[in-house]
Amino acid sequence: MPYSEEFKDHVANPRNVGNFDDANRFGEETNPACGDTLKLFLKVSEGMINRAGFLAYGCPATIACGSAITELITNQTIEDALAIDRQMISAKVGGLPSRKNHAAALAIETLHHALTRADLSIRLAVEAKQLSR
Amino acid sequence: MAGSRRVYLDHSATTPADPRVVEAMIPFFSEKFGNASSVHFFGQEARSVVEKARREVASLIGARPNEVVFLSGGTEANNLAIRGVAEDLQTHGRHIITSQIEHSSVRGVCDQLEARGWQITRLPVYENGIVRLEDVRSALRPDTVLITVMLANNEIGTIQPVREIGELVREIRSAGQRHLRFHTDAVQAIGRIGVDVETLGCDLLSISAHKLYAPKGIGALFVRRGVRVTPQNVGGHQERERRAGTEAVPGIVAFGEAARLARLELDERSAHVSKLRDEFEAGVRSRVNDIVFNGDMSKRLPHLSNISFRFIEGEGLLINLDMQGVAVSTGSACSSGSLEPSPVIRAIGRNDELARGSIRFSFGKDNSAEDVAHVLEVLPRAVENLRRLSPLFQQSVSDRAKSPEEIFVAS
């Protein structure tokens, strides 16, 4: 499957690159199989994600999914952000080849890492949700 | 937004068919459509052009016409050479010597034979990407029946000591090991450097036409007189029983014409592409920091440059360049669909990051100085674009306590 125009646009013109001054949440995950790394920086206040930024090293899918997730979560509640799934990220980049689905999974793991490690109640909620699946 | 200019720098993947080559082949689709095995006029018309093309291909490599076997391309040539020799000589021995940087078609046949009980020695290359003759010598065993080492590498362009291996093979054979054969995959070298089977001393040599400005789907295997290969395609008398199947007459005609043009224009083409390549490399060196050139800088094909860009991954760079109209290829794993980055770049001792960040630029006879200028304009921006979002780059910036502006040398 060739990459979509949206996908290539996220790679060539990534949105929300990098850290910023008032970021108060940080998440980082590495795919152990290929070494791809994603970092997310968030500004969270009163249950809302006001701003998001990312850094990525790895294949284009990792970059595109990192860029896409920052767009998906900006101005969302934490609850809505935690509900983002792989299909939503894939749709945001105009579709992912199936062998690249792991990049969407990495973006979600990184987001969960950023949102949950500073807030025990959210982490417990995520774990409860994972258990219920 | 991307401009309309398109610059093709992937001639090691394939070349466009030369208009003169296309013109030569066109009559052989509908007008002169005969089967070269037929006795009637139509068949003999086809037979005569197939044999003319065979003479041209033979002439390009200094062979006799009846030593040239037409087939579908480089992969089939490598399959016929390696499996054909291995099967023919299996009662004499089942040991094959090859290198760690062969094309996947050579690697694939060797792996398959290994699974069937043959023993394979895969010679290392060193940081320069070149096999050492003394390693070949020490790998030789009484049951070695085949050495297969490429003439030039497809990713980094390094030229292997094939002539020296050929001399060694002659020496070993005259010392009594009569059944030793020597094959070289010349797919990347042909049309870019002079190739002469007498000078090289090889028994078998693979060629693909589409690297030579002819269409895809046609190639040849040189099989030295007196050397036998067990046919891999059977059920027809074509190609002196070495490759059954109706001859692909239009493709063969095209191949012949492309071989003729390559012979006549070799020096001019090589000088042209090496000038462009050298200008390109000098330009990249002055515009982009943190790069590593891969492979020996002198013993390599004139048209090819392989560069690792630190902190970034090759396929992302490839997509960025593609959106600016520049076509290249990468050794990153993402492109090939595997998890492991290029075995060639790993074999020359580069780490995963450098292997993943490697890009091959391969020039062709129709590229121009304007093409080089365009690439030199878009490449630094594309690299910067990806480094800006790379945590590895950010880390290195803070390690060096420099600002990104200082890391990139302004052009």
Sequence-separated (6 or more) residues with CB below 8 Å from residue A80 = none
Positions of B annotated as catalytic residues are 334
- The answer to whether the Cβ–Cβ distance between A57 and B319 falls below 8 Å is no
Report CA-CA distances (Å) from B239 to B22, B26, B28, B347.
Answer: 24, 23, 19, 37
Measured between alpha carbons, how far is B361 from B11 in angstroms, rounded to an integer?
8
Tell me how crowded residue B143 is: count the other CB atoms within 10 A of its CB.
Answer: 15
- Nearest-by-Cβ selection for B339 from A33, A57, A60: A33
Residues of B in contact with A54 (CB under 8 A): 389
Closest to B18 in 3D by CA, of B347, B331, B269, B320: B269
- The answer to whether the Cβ–Cβ distance between A56 and B311 falls below 8 Å is no
Instruction: Specify whether the CB–CB gap between A55 and A23 falls below 8 A.
Output: no
- Nearest-by-Cβ selection for B315 from A54, A59, A99: A59
Residues of A in contact with B339 (CB under 8 A): 33-34
- The answer to whether the Cβ–Cβ distance between A60 and B334 falls below 8 Å is yes
Chain A contacts to B (CB-CB under 8 A) = 3, 8, 11-12, 14, 17-18, 28, 33-35, 37, 39, 54-61, 63, 66, 99
Predicted pLDDT at A117: 73
Query: pTM for this one?
Result: 0.92
- In angstroms, what separates the C-alpha of B341 from chain A's closest C-alpha? 9
- The answer to whether the Cβ–Cβ distance between B389 and A17 falls below 8 Å is yes
CA torsion through residues B197, B200, B201, B204, sign: negative
- The answer to whether the Cβ–Cβ distance between A12 and B319 falls below 8 Å is yes
Residue of A nearest to B311 (CA): A57
- The answer to whether the Cβ–Cβ distance between B313 and A8 falls below 8 Å is no
What ipTM does this complex have? 0.87
B320 touches A at CB < 8 Å:
yes
Measured between alpha carbons, how far is B74 from A23 in angstroms, rounded to an integer?
55
The phi, psi pair for B59, rounded to 5°, reads -65, -35
Closest to B308 in 3D by CA, of B290, B326, B296: B290
- In angstroms, what separates the C-alpha of B25 from chain A's closest C-alpha? 32
- Nearest-by-Cβ selection for A57 from B322, B385, B390: B390
Measured between alpha carbons, how far is B126 from B135 in angstroms, rounded to an integer?
11
A contact test, residue of B310, B319, B339, B387 with most A CBs within 10 A = B319
Q: What string of DSSP letters covers B263-321?
A: HHHHHHHHHHHHHHHHHHHHHHHHH--SEEE-S-SSSB-TTEEEEEETTS-HHHHHHHH
For the CA atoms of B52, B54, B59, B63, the dihedral, rounded to the nearest 10 degrees, stands at: -140
Measured between alpha carbons, how far is B82 from B112 in angstroms, rounded to an integer?
11
Measured between alpha carbons, how far is B208 from B202 in angstroms, rounded to an integer?
17
pLDDT, tens digit only, all 133 positions of chain A: 688 999 999 999 999 999 999 999 999 999 988 889 999 999 999 999 999 999 999 999 999 999 999 999 999 999 999 999 999 999 999 999 888 889 999 999 999 999 987 665 666 666 666 666 5
Instruction: Specify whether the CB–CB gap between A55 and B391 falls below 8 A.
Output: yes
Per-residue DSSP letter, B96: E
Work out how many CB contacts closer than 8 A connect A with B: 59
Measured between alpha carbons, how far is B324 from B374 in angstroms, rounded to an integer?
9
Sequence-separated (6 or more) residues with CB below 8 Å from residue A2 = none
- In angstroms, what separates the C-alpha of B231 from chain A's closest C-alpha? 36
pLDDT, tens digit only, all 411 positions of chain B: 445 799 999 999 999 999 999 999 999 999 999 999 999 999 999 999 999 999 999 999 999 999 999 999 999 999 999 999 999 999 999 999 999 999 999 999 999 999 999 999 999 999 999 999 999 999 999 999 999 999 999 999 999 999 999 999 999 999 999 999 999 999 999 999 999 999 999 999 999 999 999 999 999 999 999 999 999 999 999 999 999 999 999 999 999 999 999 999 999 999 999 999 999 999 999 999 999 999 999 999 999 999 999 999 999 999 999 999 999 999 886 655 566 788 999 999 999 999 999 999 999 999 999 999 999 999 999 999 999 999 999 888 888 865 555 544 433
